[in-house]
Amino acid sequence: MADYRALILQRHRQLKWKAFDWVEAVLMILCGVCISMFTLAVFLDVVTRTLGAPWLWLQQVTTAFFAWGVFVGMAAATRRNDHFYLTEITKRMTGAPRQTIEIVNRLIVLVVAVLLIWCGTQNALLDLGSYRMPSLIPLTVYTAIVPIAGVLIFLFTLEQLICGWQNGFEGPEDRDDTREAVL
């Protein structure tokens, strides 16, 4: 990728610091790496099984990339505001009510992120003593992504909170009569 900025979503730019753009780009690349790797792993699994010499550990590699991909994507989607939402009511609000609700929403996400970091770290440490058979990969290799994602989600939410406080949460994208670009 010639320019990493091509990977940065410009929607809701006012909620982002330029300094974190490279983190979003790295996470996007990691999303691509994870899905590519588990596609390759499943492919090799089918090939080796068809050849009569299955590599059983491939299934564990597959699930590791899969799980990492989910949590890396969850963190990336937090910065890009790409998550599934139940409603767009907030986007139609303006002024102080909008500011208040947006702040409360992000505080809720911050609390969840803190719990992911704290409890996720405890779980990952506990999992050091557990192994996946037959590859004997420590379970921590899988579960360590939970607190890592928690840290990233915390950072991005804090970024949005501070930027939103300074610049406002409303953006031109919130109008619904414009044709949004199809990716």
Residues forming contacts to another protein in the complex (CB under 8 A) are 1, 7, 28-36, 38-39, 42-43, 45-46, 59, 62-63, 66-67, 69-74, 76-78, 80, 82-91, 101-102, 104-105, 108-109, 111-112, 115-116, 119-120, 122-123, 142-143, 146, 176-180, 182-183
List beta partners, residue 131.
138
Give the shortest CB-17-to-another protein separation in angstroms.
20
- Chain centre to alpha carbon of residue 5: 18
2 — phi, psi (to 5°)?
A: -65, -45
**Least distance in angstroms from the C-beta of 3 to another protein:** 12
Tell whether omega for the bond before 134 is within 30 degrees of 0, i.e. cis: yes
Q: CB of residue 52 vs another protein: minimum separation in angstroms?
A: 15
Q: How far is the CB of 172 from another protein (least distance, A)?
A: 14
Of 86 and 133, which CB lies nearer to another protein in the complex structure? 86
Looking at the Cβ atoms of 10 and 87, the one nearer to another protein is 87
CB atoms inside a 10 Å sphere around CB 182: 4
Give the residue from 97, 28, 33, 92 showing the smallest Cα distance to 65. 33
Rounded CA separation 138/66 (Å): 16
Nearer to another protein, 130 or 167 (CB): 130
